[in-house]
Amino acid sequence: MSHAPARPLTSARATGPLHGTVAVPGDKSISHRALMFGALAVGETRITGLLTGEDVLRTAAAMRALGAEVTHDPDGTWRVAGRGIGGLTEPEDVLDMGNSGTAARLLCGILSTHPLFAVMTGDGSLRRRPMKRVTDPLTATGAVFMAREGGRLPLAVQGARDALPLEYRVPVPSAQVKSALLLAGLNAPGITRVEEPEATRDHSENMLRHFGASVRVDVAGAGRIIELQGQPELRAADVAVPGDPSSAAFPLVAALLVPGSQVTLPGVGLNPLRTGLFLTLNEMGAQVAIRNQRTEGGEPVGDLVVTGGPLKAVDVPGARAPSMIDEYPILAAAAACATGTTRLFGLKELRVKESDRLSATAALLSVNGVKVDIEGDDMIIHGTGAPPPGGGLVATHMDHRIAMSALVLGLATRDPVRVDDGAFIDTSFPGFVSLMNAAGAAISADA
């Protein structure tokens, strides 16, 4: 599989404060789900604010390949003409999920209870990531999966004809695994029951209800038990996708790190299972005000107003990880500029993201002169409060969040920070470089 040529980028220390309004793109998790639920519903689902990053475009293409009609209007509204539960048709060719673990894993759930044959692949990063965490439990529906060694992509699936409902305790906190099982349960009779050890993002549960399914959620200690009544008729519903808090994290931290900055981030999703970073930054002394809080499309949303200023070190407990799992690389960049020693606990799941993010984040810092240790699954970052030296070339390992975190760090370091490849930023945050530069950053393509 080929992908675009590497796009090296350099980020230089900001010469003045960042300012203005940065409109971050739509939430990636909600965008994937809106397309998938739309394809499984009866009628036409209209989606506004959909993220048009490459990950989500892969999901749109997969839904088309499975028989749903997915189009978009010139004003940016997307329309999905759904096939109804059980109504998807066999794809003619291999489904290529690109860089997206969410797309691949959630699709495994859908395919497992449709009686059709499909083959799925992805890019070099996705082909390295574990899929057994979904294919093992999904096998109990009656589906048959065949995959490469270690359960990795490419994989083939023959979906179950008379699927059985699942009852499963997810061993790791993973919204992707939970969601895959719930999606499978849509086309199985009776109740699908999923227990998660720690609460993870609940966009699937919210959207299932929004489309008319019956979902019951009980709190069980730190976790939750979710019960879905199978074979509902999903009715098409309009979805307004909020701004992605995981994307907002980059301009937000950038504004914090450049003294005197003031930046507004309108319409950012504030689902409490996604806001661990905001809580952590608050503990570090960051000034982030939430204005105009409201509910849009069943999700809490607000405008963030960020004022730059000094940060102090913090300890982040492992129990907070599910609510900020994608934000550790950018938090690490913030911690590198803070005063004192920051300890981030319980980061095991970071090893199976788009890259091994635990190692990639530590390398990002150390190559730029920041002292950092990994002890087991914990990361310890030694900040001095002074701008880190910078001057490093960061290996991004096909990981959009490593690239963006390094470029934000470069706004605060003494010498510029380079990344070997910024091309993958387009998977989740198209337009990142121009938005940041419009706010006062100095990120440039290497000549």
| Burial (CB count within 10 angstroms: exposed 0-12, middle 13-18, buried 19+), residue 368 | buried
Residue nearest to ligand S3P (CB): 29
Residue 324 vs 337, nearer CB to ligand S3P: 324
Q: How far apart are CA 242 and CA 345, in angstroms?
A: 29
Number of residues that bind ligand S3P (CB under 6 A): 10
Question: Tokens standing for 304?
Answer: 């963030």
Q: How far apart are CA 34 and CA 46, in angstroms?
A: 9
Q: Which SS3 state, helix, strand or coil, does residue 369 take?
A: coil
CB of 430 to ligand S3P, least distance (A): 16
CB of 100 to ligand S3P, least distance (A): 9
CB of 13 to ligand S3P, least distance (A): 30
CB of 19 to ligand S3P, least distance (A): 29
Q: Which SS3 state, helix, strand or coil, does residue 387 take?
A: coil
User: Which of 99, 113, 135, 176 touches ligand S3P (CB under 6 A)?
Assistant: 176
Catalytic residue, from 326, 399, 421, 426: name it: 326
Q: Which of 357, 355, 239 is nearest to 299 (CA)?
A: 239
Residue 248 vs 325, nearer CB to ligand S3P: 325
Catalytic: 326?
Answer: yes
User: Can residue 202 be called a binding residue for ligand S3P (CB under 6 A)?
Assistant: no
Q: How far apart are CA 15 and CA 10, in angstroms?
A: 15
Among the residue ranges 175-183, 247-255, 287-295, 363-371, the one whose residues contact ligand S3P (CB under 6 A): 175-183
Residue identified by tokens 């109504």 is 87
Residue 176 vs 264, nearer CB to ligand S3P: 176
Site for ligand S3P in 84-103 (CB under 6 A): 102
Q: How far apart are CA 124 and CA 398, in angstroms?
A: 8
H or E element, residue 264: strand 262-269
User: Which of 11, 31, 125, 174 touches ligand S3P (CB under 6 A)?
Assistant: 174
Q: Using CB under 6 A as the criterion, what x/- string covers residues 288-327 for binding ligand S3P?
A: -------------------------------------xx-
Residue 10 vs 176, nearer CB to ligand S3P: 176
Residue 146: other Cβ atoms inside 10 A: 12
Q: Which amino acid is at 360?
A: A
User: Can residue 125 be called a binding residue for ligand S3P (CB under 6 A)?
Assistant: no
Question: Tokens standing for 181?
Answer: 């099982």
Residue 330 phi, psi (nearest 5)? -75, -30
Among the residue ranges 68-76, 171-179, 208-216, 250-258, the one whose residues contact ligand S3P (CB under 6 A): 171-179
Among the residue ranges 39-47, 114-122, 174-182, 284-292, the one whose residues contact ligand S3P (CB under 6 A): 174-182
Residue 2: other Cβ atoms inside 10 A: 5
Angle, vertex CA 109, rays to CA 104 and CA 112, nearest 5: 115
User: Residues interacting with ligand S3P, by CB under 6 A?
Assistant: 29, 102, 174-176, 179, 201, 325-326, 349
Catalytic residues: 326
